[in-house]
Amino acid sequence: MLWAVATVTFFAVRLIPGDPAEAILGGPGSQTSPEALAAVRAEYGLDQPLLVQYLQQLGRLATGDLGRSYALNMDVGPLVLSQIGGTLVLAVLSLAVAWLIALVLATWSTGRGRLAARIGTGLEIVAAALPHFWLATTLIVVFSVWWGVLPPISTADARGLVLPVVTLAIPLAGFLGQVMRESLNTALESPFVLSARARGESDRGVLWRHALRHAALPAISLSGWAFGSLISGAVVVETIFARPGLGRTLLNAVTVRDVPVVVGVVMVVALAYILMTIVTDLASGLADPRPTEIGNGGLS
């Protein structure tokens, strides 16, 4: 899996027309000399055939060496380590906030009649369709420019985290909410809920102790995918809110064809995605009511 990711990324970046050496030395207002270009090409092995460059890169990756950035004058390993924290905090908090919003919305609007359900569905559809850049800009205009309550850029304290987290959480909450509502409705109509009611369980008890556990399963599985999408959302959000992180690193690296950084970041993201999928599988196991209901059948 990681090998496939590295290969696809390497060729995708290198096959876009563009010369990394020009990009390394170039940049606004610079005047590139041919001597400097030749030196840079030799230094990074860019004068070698593409296949040789690919094999060299792969060889380094196999030994756990992510290589050295063409553009940033530093090794990719330390670079990724220095930037990953910001993105992880953003992704984890956004996932948590998205779950919270989705749960509140789904439980509030389920079983309260048609109007509530329609409002809930409507909000979820709108939220899921909101593009990050639009949401980010709107939040900045409202909360930073008009009301002046939250900073539009990252700050040393946590205030700067609020707008980026909300930006990432709202569309995700829309997705999670839709999935959750659907399975909640299915669960509420299923026989085990009827039997729970027959045993005298209250509405709230049914919702929280039985139906919700069923309903949460697809949403938990979706969280693995969501984590990946949050990291891609981080590209936009980190740029707009001027936050340090992997998303911004990736964007800059693609612009200057900094192959080692692009491959390095994508590998780390792929690794995080794999880990997250394992975690969600485990979490599904824990949340899945079926084994426990068999075990504790007499008690419930």
Site of interaction with another protein (CB under 8 A): 16-41, 71-74, 79, 82-83, 137, 140-141, 144-145, 148, 151-155, 239-242, 244-245, 248-249, 252, 255-257
State both tokens at 255. Answer: 């612009």
Query: Is 141 or 278 the residue whose CB approaches another protein more closely?
Result: 141
Give the residue from 27, 28, 60 showing the smallest Cα distance to 44. 60
Least CB distance to another protein at residue 73 (A): 5
Shortest approach of another protein to residue 255 CB, angstroms?
5
Distance of CA 41 to the CA centre of its chain: 35
The distance of closest approach from Cβ of residue 87 to another protein in the complex, given in angstroms and rounded to an integer, is 11
Q: Is the CB of 52 or the CB of 74 nearer to another protein? A: 74
- HSE-CB at 73 with a 13 A cutoff on CA atoms is 1
CB of 24 to another protein, least distance (A): 8
Answer whether 164's CB lies under 8 Å from 241's CB: yes
Of how many residues is the chain composed? 300
- Choose between 34 and 295: whose C-beta lies nearer to another protein: 34
* Residue 240 neighbours by CB under 8 Å, 6+ apart: 133, 136, 137, 140
Q: How far is residue 81's CA from residue 234's CA, in Å, rounded to a whole number?
A: 16
Angle at 230 between CA 227 and CA 235, to 5 degrees: 140
Q: Which is nearer to another protein, 133 or 225 (CB)?
A: 133
Phi, psi of 75 (to 5 degrees): -70, 150
Coil, strand or helix: which one is 68? strand
The minimum distance between CB 56 and another protein, in angstroms, equals 20
What is the closest distance, in whole angstroms, from the C-beta atom of residue 162 to another protein in the complex? 13
Nearer to another protein, 35 or 295 (CB): 35
Q: Which is nearer to another protein, 86 or 289 (CB)?
A: 86
Q: What are phi and psi of 58, to 5 degrees?
A: -65, -40
